Structure formats: C-alpha cells, structure tokens
Structure 1
Amino acid sequence: MTKQRYYWGITKFVLGTAIGVGLVLIPFSFANGVDTILFHYLKLFIAQYHFAVQTLVTILVVLSALLALIDWLIPTTILHKQRLLKKLFSTTPFYVINRLLGAVVALMCYLKVGPLFIISPDTGTAMLDLATQLSVLVPLMLLFQTFILEFGAMEFLSELIGFIVKPLFKVSELCAVNIISAWVGPGNAAIIGTQELFKKGYFTVREAATIGSQFATSSIGWVVLVCSVLGVMPYFGLIFLGITLVGVIIGAIGVRIPPISRYPSTYVDGSTTRPIKITREGNKWHTALVNASNRANTVSIKNFTTKIDNMTFYVFWLSPIIIIWGTAALALSLYTPLLAWISLPVEWILRLFGVADAKVTASAIMSGFADNYLPVILGKGIGSASSRIILAMMSIEQLIFMSEIATLLKSCNIVQKFSHIVIIFLERTFLALPFVIWYVQLLF
C-alpha cells in the first residue's frame, strides 16, 4: 500500500468514526433533556408527524402479514425468487401466524376496536406506539452506525485487544473484531456475519457459538435508545461502561459452563486446524493503523446501501412480532399473575439487595425473553432512577430474546438446540443481576 493511500485511509478512518460517534454515541443537552443528536431530531420528527407515521407503520405491518401468507400458500411467486423479497417475506408457518396476529392487533389498536385487554393504552396501543417509534429510530440508527462499524474502528481496536480475548473467552485473536462489532453493532447482523465467517473457516463451532450467544447485543445505539426512553440518558457513559464490564465477566463465565463449554473446537470441515491462514507485519499499533486504513479505503456508498436489508428487515419482519409478543406479554403482566410468578426468583434477589420497586423491576427483567424492549415498556414508569438503570443494563445483558436473537441463533445453527437458548438466557440473567446491582449501588 502506498503512503498516499495509507494516509487517505487514516483520514477516512478518523473522520468517519468521529461522525458516527458524534451522531450516535455522545449525549448532548437539549431543551427536552439529554439525548444524542440523531435520536433527538428523529424524536422531534416522530412527535410532529406521529399520526402519519403510525398509519404508514400499520399499513406496512398488514402488508408484511399478507405477503408472508401469500408466499406460504403460493411459493412460486416473485416473493420466493427475488433475494430481498424472499428474505423479508419467506418464512415458516409459525412466523406467518405471528405476523397475521401482529397485523390484527395493529389494526384493532389503530381503529380502537376490540377488547380492552388488547387495545388498552397499557397493552396493544403501547406496543403500536412503540413500533411506530422504533420503525423510524432503529432503521436510521442501523444506517448511521455504518460510520462506527465500517470505517476501520473495529479493525483498529481488535488488533490492540486481540491478545485479551484469547485467555478471557477461550477463542482465537481473530474473534476480537467480531466480538467488538457484535457488542456495539446490530446483533442480527453480527450473528449472520459470524455464520458466514464460520462457513469460510475462520471460527470453530464453539467460537461461533460464543460470539453469537455471549456478545451479539442489540447494538450501542440500542443502549442509547433504552437509556433515552427510561430517562437515564445523563448516565449513559457509566451505564455503557457497566454493561461492558459485566458483559466481560459473564461472557468469561458463560464460555466455561454448559452448554457452550460442551461445543466442539472444530472447524466447518470437521478438523481442528484452521483452514484460513492469517499473517501480520510490524508491531500491534502499526498493524492496527494499517488494518483501519485498509478497511476505510474499502468504504463506498455500497456500505450504506447494503444496510437496506437490515433496515427493511426490522420494519417488515420484526415490527409485527414485537407488536403481538409485546401485547401478549403486557396483557399477561397486567391482567394475569403469570409474569409475576415467573419473576419471583429475580424479585427475591432484588429485595435481598434492597432494590426499590423490586416487584415491577423483576417482572420487567424477566419479560426480556419475549422481546428486549419489553423491559423498557414495563419499567419506564418505575420511580427509582437506580432501578431504571438496573433495568436498562439487564435488558442489554440478557442478550437472548425470542423476537429476534434467539430465532437467529437457532436458524443459523450457531446454537444447536432451543433448550440451550433458554438455558443461556437464564444463565445470563442470574449471573449478570448481582454484578449489575453491585455496580449501580456503588456508582449511583
């Protein structure tokens, strides 16, 4: 690589990363509170055009259900042949039914027709409002995160900390970049990317399972969203630091206990020798800069346009599921004692540590298995700021939730059995909870 190309790459790396950090990560004070630049102005847009946006989202949710049903009943249409359409609308009967139910709930809440336990402002209407907000915030967050994820920051950091991940998480140094990108980037993209690299021979079965089940969070932008909705944005820096520290601890434990510890250290061809050879030149700092420069030099408009897949995937695939599962979880929480029963062990732990609003906080935490935003919905009315901070951190640390990550882990065969997914969720919940409480009580 010529010096001119090297320095041009470094310039793109620094400027691109700075734009991403400035737009997506750094909180600023605005008239209505503390928020990031991107989220502040998107929320103003949603507030001003809420009815129009909600109407559009309802139409898209209904369209998603109808097209999925058509593809299921008539698999010879263009929906099954065109790449993006197939990704968006070709799915299993289970998820077709989920989309149809989500569309029915969305229409009932939009038209204000149906039983109260579904269309109540505390259940279905709350989830339709949430879907309206997230259908704008999340796709654009995924787009602008490109500046952070694809301008060399991940390659730069992974080279500098690769030697740490090997003993901590029992993986090769090559996993560092995927661990970092999975931690700060969209979890769905991280899991799909990990599966692709596994098939190419970069990772073992256990390494792929480790990255997917221990580090594929909902992204740093999602942490910003959670903190913003829960009203704890002024503490974002400390919250994300705590999430990372606790995540390292429970990740290190998680890879050393079943089920992950029992996964084989073999590559895609069944061998124990990596088929991909990696060479490095110079010291770590030089290599980190060269890798960052190389990655930045590959950036083009295509890096942004390819995000259309994940942006549309969120709206068409996940919005109906969030609406139906969220409504079901909220209805069960508000109209039945089921969620309270399930969350009793968590409530006992919270009470043991003297956490305020233990009952509501526990129910919110355990609702995370259905969808990672349910804890935020159930807990945003909690009076105690420290309890809301605990909830914000736990909603990220749990990592496994049925509406997306759990489904991807199983469908990509990164986690071998559904029972393993349930076990990992419970492990992460009960391992993380004491550390999160200690951290919050120490610093807040």
Structure 2
Amino acid sequence: MKSSQRIGFIKFLIGTILGIVLVLIPFNFDNGMDTILFHYLKLFIAANKTVIQYLLVLCVTLSAVLSLYALINKNSFLHSKRLCKKLFVTSPFYVVNRFFGALVSILCLFKIGPEFIISADTGTAMLDLATQLSILVPMMLLFQTLILEFGAMEFLGELIGFIVKPLFKVSEICAVNIISAWVGPGNAAILGTQDLFEKGYFTVKEAAVIGSQFATSSIGWVVLVSSVLGLMDNFGLIFLGITLIGIILGFITVRIPPVKNYPNTYVDGSTESTIKSNSSGSKLKTSYINASERANSVTLTNFTSKIDNMSFYVFWLTPIIIFWGAAALMISIYTPVLSWISLPVEMILNLAGVPDASVTASAIMSGFADNYLPVILGEALPSIESKAIIAMMSILQLIFMSEIATLLKSCKLVNKFSDIIIIFLERTFISLPFVIIFVKLFIS
C-alpha cells in the first residue's frame, strides 16, 4: 500500500465525513430538525433578512439590465469576459423573463402594485423563498464539494454502482450523485450534476436521469413538510415510503419517454468517458485506490471553481425562479385552472376512499407550481391519511415550476419544456397508487 494512497484515503475520509455531517445529516436544534449547515445559515438569514433581500433585488435588477445591454450591444465587455458571458449573454426570451422577475421583486419589496402580484401567497412568497435560497443554494454548492470531489463518487460508484446500473440504466459512477441528490437539496444537486456533466462524468441521459428523477427537496425539506402537516410522529415511515416509491418511480421512468430517448453521449459528443478509474483487484481495493487518487487530486481550484455556479444561481436563475414561481402561484390561487386539472387525481382518490378527495387532489396538482403549495392547501385538512398522501406526493413529484423545472431547463439537463410537463405527469400518476397503498397500510 503506497504512502500517497494512505494520505489520499485519509483526505477522502475527512472530506467526505465532514461533508456528510455538515450537509446531509439532520440534527435536532432548538427550532426543529435541520442540517448543521442549513441551521446556521438560516439563523444568519433571519438576522439579516432585510439587507439580504435588498441585495438580492439589486442583483436581480442588474441581471435584467445587463442581459438587455448584452443583447443590444454585441461588442460589449460582457461578451469578452468568460463569467460575464455565462451570466448575462442570453436569448431575448430569457431577457424578458429576467425583467418580469425584476419587476415582481421590486413591486414585492416596496409593497406597491396589484394585490394578486404582491400578496403573501404569490410574489412576496417567492421573494421570501428566493431570499433564503440565494444564500442556502450557493453555500450548499460550495460545501457539497466535500462530498462530491473528495473521492466519494469513485468509492461508492465501485461498491454499489452495480445496483444503480441495472435499476436506472446509468453508469456506476452516478451512484453517489443519486444518493446526494436524494438526501440533499435538489437545486444544488442539479447545478452539481450540470457541473459534473460538463467535466465529462455523465452522459446527457445520465444527467437527465439524476436531475429529473432524484433531485428531491432534501431530508430537511421532508422534515419541514412533515412538521407543518403535523406528521412528525410518522416521519420515519414517510421518508421510508418516499425512498421505496422513488426507487420504483426511477426504475419505471428511465424506461419510458421522454427520458428513455435521451442520448448516452458525453458533453463532447463521444460515447466513451474521459474519466478513467483503476479497476484491478477486488471492488473494495479498487474503491480504495480510486477514492485515494481522487482525494489527492483536490486543490483549492475545486472550491473556487464553484464560484461560477454560485453566481449562475443568483444572477441567471433567481429572476426566472421568482417570475415563474409567482406566475404559477397566481394561476393556482386566483383562477379555477387548478380545480379543473385536479379532476383525474380526484377520481383516483375517490375510488380509493381517501377523505377530502377534492381538496387533496387540488393540493397534489398544485405541486407543479411550487412544492410548498400542497402543504399550504393541505394544512387545514383533518385527515392524517390525506395529509400523509399530500406530504409524500409533494416530494415525489419532484418537478415544480418555481425552481426545479426552471433549473432543469436552464441547465439544459432536460431538452424541452414539454418533457418537463410529461415527467411531472408521469411521476404524479405512477406514484399516486403506490403512495395511497403505502399510507393505507402503514400510516392511516
């Protein structure tokens, strides 16, 4: 055993364990369960919310103005600077999106304009959410480096990759990203997946599978949803059910369009990965060697390179998330569209004898707008059974317009917006019968 390998393995253990403890494991704090990283970041946000919100609205407004300037002036400095080009050079469609996002942000910040825009349930809700996420997601992207780039991918990929390969039709190296996406924040998982795709780790199809099938809202979010709905006594069962049904969902959806039709090609168009690993000896020895070599290759650049994606989230995605999230919430709350599209779900719930089927169905389908909207609509329901179904579905649907759907499209992990809608509907109608059966057997 080489000395360099021992040193590398120590680096792997320290970096990975530190990342898991900080980022993934929920602890019981005074204000409830959360990860260490999120707990202290949320305390910071609560203490400085006003300042952060003003700075965020400034960033969103700058994003709109600079992207318009870049669109008009093709010879501007924004086109010549690498990071500026990534952040501000975009199509007319996204420039318009940014301006609408900036407009909603300004109106909500200063409490001016129509009530349906600045209401606490629509635009203001999205601005408050974006304020939190503007700190949480960039920091998650930074600290997630400890888990994703210190050898855990190589170690787990060799040890348990043989499980994910036949189940989800992806390479072994996807194993740790699937796990990280499932238990960590989905937004950070998507940006991290995009980053690794660009580095040649994943094919187009693998990136789409991870982003559209496993980028849930984190253990912390499941805790939050369970707490608000009064289901903490059943948290363990709810998370177990979500995980088991999530595996079934992933198994099915990767075998049907649209995900099935994505190409197994890498970022450079090739069908062979440029990421090489040692595969001699036993799986445990190979895992040890690969993890050690990966950990030894880590430098400060692995952390500083995250500045791109951290900035991308704030300047590129935040205005779009605010606009589309607010628009989706307005449609859900102020129009009858939600009750219309909920009818098929209501029929299934009625057939299964689920209490308050109409409200439960509306809550489930509202998840396409935002994954917290089902919780808001279902909070007053008296039935534990209905609440548990809403809680599990709000996580399993995974796709919601206010963030994940926008991220998938903006990061180009999913080709077309129509694919996003199809994936949402697939996940909703495939998972619903399993969720109903699970809740009736173990929770109600």
Normalised TM-score (structure 1): 0.84
The 1:287–1:264 alpha-carbon spacing in structure 2 relative to 1, beyond 3 Å, is: same
Write the distance in 2 (CA, Å) between the matches of 1:181 and 1:298.
21
The 1:31–1:168 alpha-carbon spacing in structure 2 relative to 1, beyond 3 Å, is: closer
Larger deviation: 289-298 or 106-115? Answer: 289-298
Match of 1:304 in 2: 303
Question: Is 1:346 aligned with 2:345?
Answer: yes
Say which SS state the counterpart of residue 35 (structure 1) adopts.
strand
Match of 2:21 in 1: 22
Write the distance in 2 (CA, Å) between the matches of 1:267 and 1:435.
34
Tell me, which stretches of 5 or more residues in structure 2 are unaligned? none
Match of 1:139 in 2: 138
Write the distance in 2 (CA, Å) between the matches of 1:44 and 1:413.
33
Tell me, which stretches of 5 or more residues in structure 1 are unaligned? none
AA paired with 2:198?
E
CA contact 2:205–2:262 (8 Å) conserved in 1: yes
The 1:74–1:90 alpha-carbon spacing in structure 2 relative to 1, beyond 3 Å, is: same
Counterparts in 2 of 1:196-207, with a 5 A limit?
Answer: 196=198, 206-207=205-206
Write the distance in 1 (CA, Å) between the matches of 2:259 and 2:429.
17
Say which SS state the counterpart of residue 299 (structure 1) adopts.
coil
Cα deviation for residue 159 of structure 1 reads 1.0
The 1:381–1:11 alpha-carbon spacing in structure 2 relative to 1, beyond 3 Å, is: farther
AA paired with 1:196?
E
Larger deviation: 165-174 or 266-275? Answer: 266-275
Match of 2:9 in 1: 10
Q: CA RMSD in A?
A: 3.4
Cα deviation for residue 103 of structure 1 reads 0.9
Cα deviation for residue 98 of structure 1 reads 1.2
Cα deviation for residue 354 of structure 1 reads 4.9
Larger deviation: 363-372 or 259-268? Answer: 259-268
AA paired with 2:109?
Y
Question: Is 1:93 aligned with 2:92?
Answer: yes
Cα deviation for residue 322 of structure 1 reads 2.1
Write the distance in 1 (CA, Å) between the matches of 2:264 and 2:300.
38
Cα deviation for residue 257 of structure 1 reads 2.2
Cα deviation for residue 3 of structure 1 reads 2.4
Match of 1:52 in 2: 51
Write the distance in 2 (CA, Å) between the matches of 1:208 and 1:255.
12
CA contact 2:329–2:369 (8 Å) conserved in 1: no
Percent sequence identity is 67
Counterparts in 2 of 1:153-302, with a 5 A limit?
Answer: 153-177=152-176, 179-180=178-179, 182-183=181-182, 186-193=188-195, 195-196=197-198, 206-207=205-206, 209-217=208-216, 239-262=238-261, 280-302=279-301
Offset from partner CA, 1:390-443 (integer Å, 9 cap, x none): 445434433344556555655776555443332222111211222234344444
CA contact 1:398–1:428 (8 Å) conserved in 2: yes
CA contact 1:10–1:293 (8 Å) conserved in 2: yes
Write the distance in 1 (CA, Å) between the matches of 2:388 and 2:37.
22
Write the distance in 1 (CA, Å) between the matches of 2:52 and 2:272.
52
The 1:345–1:15 alpha-carbon spacing in structure 2 relative to 1, beyond 3 Å, is: same
Say which SS state the counterpart of residue 103 (structure 1) adopts.
helix
The 1:12–1:123 alpha-carbon spacing in structure 2 relative to 1, beyond 3 Å, is: same
Write the distance in 1 (CA, Å) between the matches of 2:74 and 2:224.
38
Write the distance in 2 (CA, Å) between the matches of 1:103 and 1:402.
17
AA paired with 1:170?
K
Write the distance in 2 (CA, Å) between the matches of 1:240 and 1:391.
13
Write the distance in 2 (CA, Å) between the matches of 1:391 and 1:7.
48
CA contact 1:21–1:148 (8 Å) conserved in 2: yes
The 1:230–1:9 alpha-carbon spacing in structure 2 relative to 1, beyond 3 Å, is: farther
Write the distance in 2 (CA, Å) between the matches of 1:161 and 1:298.
23
Match of 1:62 in 2: 61
CA contact 1:194–1:212 (8 Å) conserved in 2: no
Counterparts in 2 of 1:372-383, with a 5 A limit?
Answer: 372=371, 375=374
Say which SS state the counterpart of residue 34 (structure 1) adopts.
strand
Offset from partner CA, 1:46-105 (integer Å, 9 cap, x none): 222222221111211111111111112222212222121122112221111111111111
Cα deviation for residue 188 of structure 1 reads 2.7
Say which SS state the counterpart of residue 29 (structure 1) adopts.
strand
Count of aligned pairs? 440
Say which SS state the counterpart of residue 33 (structure 2) adopts.
strand
Offset from partner CA, 1:19-48 (integer Å, 9 cap, x none): 222222222222222222222222222222
The 1:122–1:183 alpha-carbon spacing in structure 2 relative to 1, beyond 3 Å, is: closer
Say which SS state the counterpart of residue 323 (structure 1) adopts.
helix
Offset from partner CA, 1:215-234 (integer Å, 9 cap, x none): 45466676677667777678
Cα deviation for residue 339 of structure 1 reads 1.8
CA contact 1:368–1:401 (8 Å) conserved in 2: yes
AA paired with 1:188?
I
Write the distance in 2 (CA, Å) between the matches of 1:385 and 1:138.
32
The 1:204–1:143 alpha-carbon spacing in structure 2 relative to 1, beyond 3 Å, is: closer
The 1:166–1:152 alpha-carbon spacing in structure 2 relative to 1, beyond 3 Å, is: same
CA contact 1:135–1:319 (8 Å) conserved in 2: yes
Counterparts in 2 of 1:366-377, with a 5 A limit?
Answer: 366-372=365-371, 375=374
Offset from partner CA, 1:98-150 (integer Å, 9 cap, x none): 11111111111111111111111222112111111221222212222222222
CA contact 1:195–1:414 (8 Å) conserved in 2: no
Write the distance in 1 (CA, Å) between the matches of 2:139 and 2:230.
21
The 1:441–1:35 alpha-carbon spacing in structure 2 relative to 1, beyond 3 Å, is: farther
The 1:28–1:371 alpha-carbon spacing in structure 2 relative to 1, beyond 3 Å, is: same
Normalised TM-score (structure 2): 0.84
